[in-house]
Every structure is written in structure tokens, then in C-alpha cells.
Structure 1
Amino acid sequence: MEIKRNIKEPFEEYRQIFPAVGLLGPRQVGKTTFVKGLTKADDFIYLDLERLADREKLKDPGFYFSRYPNKCFILDEVQFMPEIFAELRGIIDADRKPGKFLLLGSASPDLIRNASDSLAGRIGYLQLTPFTLPEVDNNAQQLWLRGGFPLAYLATSQRTSVLWRRNFIQTYISRDLGLLGLQADPQLMERFWRMLASVHGNLWNAEGFARSLGITRPTVNRYLDFMEGAFMVRVLQPWFRNIKKRLVKSPKVYIRDSGLLHTLLGLDDFETLINHIQVGASWEGFVLEQITNSLDDNTHPWFYRTQQGAECDLLLEKNGKIVAAIEIKYAAVPSISKGFRISMEDTKALKGYIIANVDEAYSPEAGITVVGITAFIREELPKL
């Protein structure tokens, strides 16, 4: 099954503009397959910088690249050789041919900030996420249950998908985190990740995590920052303005991929999922991730909560205005809470949405629309 990635057009545009294009995303998300699929085999040279043999080829990168003046270079897992960024700076300045270098990485620019700063003005970054709803023909149930990693979503059976995800988690904890630069005890990290799953969609409580894990608060915050930078966790910040209310200032945390969340919670089939106490939190995270991955660069996501209890799961801010306040409910007939109405008033939201398990959109009252996630992304989001 061939799936067209939504990032294809932006990626091709970046290749026409920037000498280097950075494609970032979690491991096993399909970055290498995507890039190779857009480039003729005779036109590129592929180097996997996780392999010592390929890193050895770049001991003198200027000499190596000069041998192939008409080739495009795909440098995979570039975080394993951060010093290459400084070398590329001079090479690019000598020949600013667009699309010459395609840098693939499993760590965000923040994690390799010192190195990536070397290419400021010479590189454009894009992120490849796990599959999104539009990419899988809006098959929401399967995408929610299995998550969007290609080998998990496209598995020939639910059992195969579960086994792949279990192995991915174990390998990620025991091997990949260390390779990405986080030196931590694997058993401790497994407990940390499972604790994150248990509080998925809740406010971040570093003190509680530190106490439970027997480590310091700065250490547990460093773990969270690292997992966020490795694209495994989403940290959603609270909207905060100078209004006359006491607002919650702690962020909310989510496991970004719903399939990995379900595996961490032991939810291996759809019936178990929908009867689990965390079904609502899982649905909230799934919907939030689908929306956030569909936003343009000018729209920013937040959540809103006051100390008095008024809250909104997701705010979308554009040009300084809250263009949408969104409540997420896994229900066929969702109610509208007083707290949501207060949130809309406090934030002066232009529109309100309840994203629920419904087939047809309807408006229960002025300014608020109840809509399914597929219709929201396809029909409502472009209007905001």
C-alpha cells in the first residue's frame, strides 16, 4: 500500500530554495524511504552516519563531496555526526546550489542546536510525522488504535502491529535513546515512559515523577525535554495572558503516537481500548496530534485552564487572536460545559468547536460547532 505523504510538496519547494534541507522526525517514521522515493537512484549518494564506515568517508568532507559535483547527498541519522554541520557551512558557501544536501535526523534542531546553528540561513527544516488522517484516507479507527508508524499501521494483522510496537519500545529504550545522546538506565527510562503513558493528557508534575523514580527534579525535566526533542512526547503549553484570573501555568504532556500509548498501557485491541478508563485521554491526544500536525506555521496550539476550573483542551492562535477554542470528547452526543463557555469568553475565541465521535456536523448554539475530526481537518481548519 503506497501512501502519499502530505509533506511531499513542501519538501520539493524547500529543495528548490535551500542548499540543505533537514528532514526530521522519530526513528522508523519513514524518512529514508520518503526521500529516496523522490530522488532517482542515479542522482544521489546515500550515507548512513550511524555506520562507522560511512562516517569514515567523511573524514575529509570537502574532498569527498568534490568528487561528485553533480550528485545530491543524503546524509541519514545526521545527529551521529554533528560536526558535519560546521564542515558543510564552507562547502555550501562555495556553491549554494539548492537541494545539494538532504540531512535526515531523529533529533530536533534543539537537541543538536550548537551544530545546526552553523547552517543558519543555509538550511530549511521540515518534520515528517507518523501517518496522519488525510494520508490514510481518513481511516480514523485504525490510525487511532495502531498509531501512525508505517510498520505498525500497515501491519498485516493487529497482532503483528502490536508485536512491532512492543519491539520498537524495547529497542528504543535499550538502544536508541543512548545512541541519540541520553545516557540513562534503561529500566528507569522504561518506568519513566510508562508513567508518562499513565498521566497522558494531564498536567506535568515533575516533583511527583522525581519522587516516584528516585531522581532529582532537574533530571526528570531533562528526560522530558529529551523525549520531546526526539519527537516522542508532545508538551502542550498553557495560553497565558494578563487577564484577571489565576491561570494554570504547568504544561500538559502527551505520548505523541497513539499506538505507542496503547502498547504502553496494554491496550491491544479496539474493544479493550474503548472500555478502558483512559479512552477519553487517548482520544484527546490523538485528535490533538492530528490537528497540530495539520497547522500552518502561523498557527500555534495552546490549552487553557484557570485555577477555578474553566478549561479548554486546545486553543489555536493566529496573528495574536484565538481563532478556535476546541473541546475534545469521545462521545456521540457531547455536552457543552460551562467551563468551555467561560474559556471562550476569557480568550475571546472567534469560534468554538466540540470535536466528537459524530458523522455529521451541527451547531447546538451560536458560535459553537460539533464536528468529527476528519471533517474538522478537511473543512473547518482551512477556514481559520
Structure 2
Amino acid sequence: MYKRHIQSSVQTLLGQNAAVAVMGPRQVGKTTLALEIAGQQPSVYLDLESPRDLVMLNDIEAFCDLHQGKLIVLDEVQRLPGLFAPLRSIIDKRRRAGHKHGQFLLLGSASISLLQQSSESLAGRIAYAEMVPLSIDETAGQASTEQLYLRGGFPESLAANDEASSLNWRDNFIRTYLERDIPQLGPRIPAETLRRFWTMLAHNQGETFNASALARAIDTSSVTISRYLDLLVDLLLVRRLQPWHSNVGKRMVKAPKVYIRDSGICHALLGIETFNELLGHPVVGGSWEGFVVEQILSRLPAHTHAGFYRSSGGAEIDLVIEHKNKQRWAIEIKRNSAPTLSRGFHTASEDIAPTRKIVVHGGGSAFPMGNHVHALPLIQLIKQLGQEKPV
């Protein structure tokens, strides 16, 4: 059992709000988390993919009246978008009865933005949290960085008995999304077409998004390709990292970088089973960059601004983070344990004037690199991000 950072956050939100929605891709651990929280208080759990459970909500007001004073956990809420309208009156009724906080815990496999479109009626009554695959500090002592990087952070993939079993789990995960989950959400996209697109994103892990080039490869339009990307982003499977802009008087790259969010899913799309295969694959640099970016972004406080910096002249920083305390971190990502920096990083640093310059590398030691640049192992940076006030 992995101790998830998000658990304390969700419990805090339940103590402050009538409803909390936890969003994340399938199999990321949302149900396990919810049952752990629910087991600490009077509660009832319904899975909206179960016909038996779904029928209990035919008269949702009567069901909630029957379970007054309990935390009601509703899983896969995107399956019942009409649920949110009656929840408003139920929440207000419970509030009048003195039950103000911790009434509903909602779990969904679509993005927070999609759920918010369906839950406008719950404004002021609901808070949101995103659950991501396991992080390097959550798995410390149970899996190596190498294993987490290769297999990704979905608990069943990471805990598989061997590499073949892990890859088989991820292959089934991909197939289930393509053949069942996405069609249930409405988009009529041929599964094979979407798989080809998803696989092309894996081959181009960490590259700027070029809709025209991808469209030519699949023989479709740029508009359609952008729609495919929107879908995978909304399903929390792909990250679209926007360029960081500042008034530096230079021409900047405008296209976002695109990453498969889980490194294990990226490797499965490419048919990579072992670490040796990964080291010999052309995607290894972009794959490591995507792994590190996701690990870092998953540990940032809400509303922290992050992006990448790239000018048309070649100045580039892999990740720029703006902390609430006005600190600006420039982060370069290198898989090599003896990293070197290009002139482009130093030029970009002169452009944006970061308060801290960091190189995240694949080794286990921290050391200075000169010019106020510090090299850190990923786990050390993640621990620093877990502090309330990064230093």
C-alpha cells in the first residue's frame, strides 16, 4: 500500500466544503483513496458503472435522505452528468440540517475542466483535486527510480511481478481506453486512428506540438488533430505545457510542448519492455524529460505557474517555475549523471533572471556546476518542492 500525498489534502477539503471532486485517469488509485477516507467515518459508496448501484440513484433525493449524516462517495461521476443539478438542493438541504461539510466525495476519470462544465450549479459548494500516478517520493523504499521511470506510476503496473506483466497491464489499459472508455464519453473516433495519434505523441515526447505535421501523417486535418489532443488532455493522459512568456523583447516559440503524462504508458505505446530497450531507444531523452516534468508538476502547489522557455534564437530552458513567493526557478533536465549545459540555457537564464538555476540529472549526487547552477538528483528536488516554502 502506497501512502498518497493527496489523501491529507482531500481530507482537509472535505472539512471545508460540502463536496470534493477527485479527478484522475482510471486505475490511478482514486477508489482505493476514497475507500480509505470513507472507512474512517460513516459512509456509503456507489460505483456509477455498476447497474445495481446506478439504479439506487433513480431517486437521488430519497437515497440521500436515507443516508443522512454520512459521506456519500460516488465513483465515475462523468457517467451521470445530470447528477450535479439535484446535488445543489440536496447539499443546501443538508446544510440547513447542520451538515455543512464533507457530504459528498465524487470521483471521475475526466479532467477538472470537463467536470466544472457540468457542475456550475455547485459553485461555492465543491472543491477539486487532481490525483496523478505515483511519485518518486511516494514509492521510496518500494520501487527504484529506474523501475518507476520504466513502468510508470500506475500502482498495478509498478507492482507487477516482472517487466512483461507490467507491460501487459499497460497494453490492456491503453486498449480499454481506446475501445471502451473514450467511446462511452461520446467522441466517435476510430480506435486505431487514435492509437496512431497517441503513439506519434509518444515518439515525439517533449517536442513542440506541430498539428500540421501530425495531420499529414494520419491523413487528416490540423483541426481534427488538435481535437484529438484536446481529448487526451481532458482525459488527463497527455500534458500540454505552455511556453513561458515574459517581456524580454525576443521572438518566442508559441506552440506548446506535449508529453504523455505517465512514462510507463509512453513506453508501452512504443513497445518498450525493459530498461535496456529504453536506453537504446531514440525517445529516451524526451522520455526522461517527460518523467521529470510530470514528477515536478505533480508536487507543485495549486496555481503555481509553470512553462518552458524557448526563443527563436535558440535560448531554451526545459521548465520555468514561478512560485507564489516570487521565486523563479529555471530547471534543465538531463538524463546523464554528468550533465553539461549548452549556451542556450545560459542565454535564456540571462533573459528571465531566475532566482535559482537547477539541473535535474539521472545520478544520485548533488553538486555545484558553476555560474550559480546546482545539479540535483530528482528525488532531492521533489523533497524540496514538498516543503511549504521552497528555498
Structure 1 residue identity aligned to 2:283 = Q
Residues 322-369 of structure 1 deviation map (CA, whole Å, 9 limit, x = unaligned) = 621011011121112111011111111111111112222111213210
C-alpha separation in 2, matches of 1:320 and 1:33: 34
Structure 2 residue identity aligned to 1:172 = Y
Structure 1 residue identity aligned to 2:219 = G
Q: Deviation at 1:158?
A: 1.4
- Which residue of structure 1 lines up, in the alignment, with residue 204 of structure 2? 199
Structure 1 residue matching 2:251: 3-state secondary structure: coil
Q: Percent identity?
A: 42
Q: Deviation at 1:208?
A: 1.5
Which one of the candidate residues 226, 229, 245 is aligned to 1:221? 226
- Which residue of structure 1 lines up, in the alignment, with residue 321 of structure 2? 316
- Which residue of structure 2 lines up, in the alignment, with residue 231 of structure 1? 236
1:372 counterpart = 2:371: no
Q: Deviation at 1:321?
A: 4.4
- Which residue of structure 2 lines up, in the alignment, with residue 27 of structure 1? 26
Which one of the candidate residues 115, 135, 143 is aligned to 1:112? 115
Residues 50-104 of structure 1 deviation map (CA, whole Å, 9 limit, x = unaligned) = 2333232212211221111122111100001011111101111122331111100
C-alpha separation in 1, matches of 2:276 and 2:217: 31
CA RMSD across the alignment:
1.6
- Which residue of structure 2 lines up, in the alignment, with residue 165 of structure 1? 170
Residues 24-44 of structure 1 deviation map (CA, whole Å, 9 limit, x = unaligned) = 100111111111022228822
- Gap change, CA 1:35 and 1:210, over 3 Å in 2: same
C-alpha separation in 2, matches of 1:187 and 1:366: 49
1:134-283 alignment runs, 5 A limit: 134-137=137-140, 139-283=144-288
Structure 1 residue identity aligned to 2:244 = W
Structure 2 residue matching 1:38: 3-state secondary structure: helix
C-alpha separation in 2, matches of 1:227 and 1:211: 19
- Gap change, CA 1:112 and 1:58, over 3 Å in 2: same
Q: Which moved more, 1:52-61 or 1:81-90?
A: 52-61
Structure 2 residue matching 1:161: 3-state secondary structure: helix
C-alpha separation in 1, matches of 2:37 and 2:248: 49
- Which residue of structure 1 lines up, in the alignment, with residue 5 of structure 2? 6
Structure 2 residue identity aligned to 1:336 = L
Q: Which moved more, 1:155-164 or 1:244-253?
A: 155-164
Structure 2 residue matching 1:160: 3-state secondary structure: helix
* 8 Å CA contact 1:30, 1:150 repeated in 2: yes
C-alpha separation in 2, matches of 1:169 and 1:284: 22
Structure 2 residue identity aligned to 1:15 = L
Q: Structure 1 residue runs of 4+, over 4 Å off?
A: none
- Which residue of structure 1 lines up, in the alignment, with residue 354 of structure 2? 349
- Which residue of structure 2 lines up, in the alignment, with residue 51 of structure 1? 50
Structure 2 residue identity aligned to 1:304 = Y
Q: TM-score, normalised by structure 1?
A: 0.96
Structure 2 residue matching 1:112: 3-state secondary structure: helix
1:279-294 alignment runs, 5 A limit: 279-294=284-299
Q: Which runs of 5+ in 2 are unaligned?
A: none
C-alpha separation in 1, matches of 2:330 and 2:111: 28
* 8 Å CA contact 1:26, 1:106 repeated in 2: yes
- Which residue of structure 2 lines up, in the alignment, with residue 85 of structure 1? 84
C-alpha separation in 1, matches of 2:146 and 2:217: 34
1:73 counterpart = 2:76: no
C-alpha separation in 1, matches of 2:377 and 2:179: 38
- Gap change, CA 1:272 and 1:95, over 3 Å in 2: same
Residues 289-330 of structure 1 deviation map (CA, whole Å, 9 limit, x = unaligned) = 000001011422100000111111000012494621011011
Structure 1 residue identity aligned to 2:86 = E
Q: Which moved more, 1:316-325 or 1:187-196?
A: 316-325
* 8 Å CA contact 2:248, 2:352 repeated in 1: no
Residues 86-134 of structure 1 deviation map (CA, whole Å, 9 limit, x = unaligned) = 1101111122331111100001132233312121111111111111011
Structure 2 residue identity aligned to 1:100 = Q
Structure 2 residue matching 1:218: 3-state secondary structure: helix
* 8 Å CA contact 1:353, 1:368 repeated in 2: yes
C-alpha separation in 2, matches of 1:302 and 1:17: 31
Structure 2 residue matching 1:21: 3-state secondary structure: strand
C-alpha separation in 2, matches of 1:313 and 1:54: 46
The aligned length equals 383
* 8 Å CA contact 1:130, 1:150 repeated in 2: yes
Q: TM-score, normalised by structure 2?
A: 0.94
